[in-house]
Amino acid sequence: GEQVEQLPSILRVQEGSSASINCTYENSASNYFPWYKQEPGENPKLIIDIRSNMERKQTQGLIVLLDKKAKRFSLHITDTQPGDSAMYFCAASGGTQVVGQLTFGRGTRLQVYA
């Protein structure tokens, strides 16, 4: 199976600054790493993902980095806004799996204050 560790569990940042969330995984065969944002009472929504053939991906103020050697991947939110406040979950899948079972980290509660 796969285990995903995610830190920090809570992150408070001032509006306009950047926020970073880090995850590690155990199964070196995992090859797909999505990030989901979940607001209270809502479903998790995919915000960005990265596959093992890339080391960096950027879209709309989000940057994800993947270090396969260290089995570590991270999400960086630049220029945070109050609307970025939510729970963020990293996940990993792939490897020997046939079907796309995702293993999630425990989540990071991001709070952006003015």
Partner 1 sequence: GPKVLQIPSHQIIDMGQMVTLNCDPVSNHLYFYWYKQILGQQMEFLVNFYNGKVMEKSKLFKDQFSVERPDGSYFTLKIQPTALEDSAVYFCASSLAGAGNTLYFGEGSRLIVV
Residues that bind partner 1 (CB under 8 A): 31-32, 34, 36, 42-46, 49, 51, 89, 93-95, 97-107
73 versus 89: smaller Cβ distance to partner 1 = 89
Q: State the Cα–Cα distance between residues 48 and 79, nearest whole angstrom.
A: 17
CB 76 to partner 1: min, Å: 20
Give the contacts of 47 (CB within 8 A, at least 6 positions apart): 35, 36, 37, 62, 88
10 versus 15: smaller Cβ distance to partner 1 = 10
How far, in whole angstroms, is CA 83 from its chain's centroid? 17
**Left, alpha or beta for 95 (phi > 0: left; psi -120 to 50: alpha)?**
left
Tracing tokens 């989540």 back to the chain, one arrives at 107
CB 17 to partner 1: min, Å: 25
78 versus 97: smaller Cβ distance to partner 1 = 97
CB 54 to partner 1: min, Å: 13
43 versus 60: smaller Cβ distance to partner 1 = 43
- Do the beta carbons of residue 57 and residue 64 sit within 8 Å? yes
CB 77 to partner 1: min, Å: 19
For the record, the structure tokens of 78 come out as 């630049």
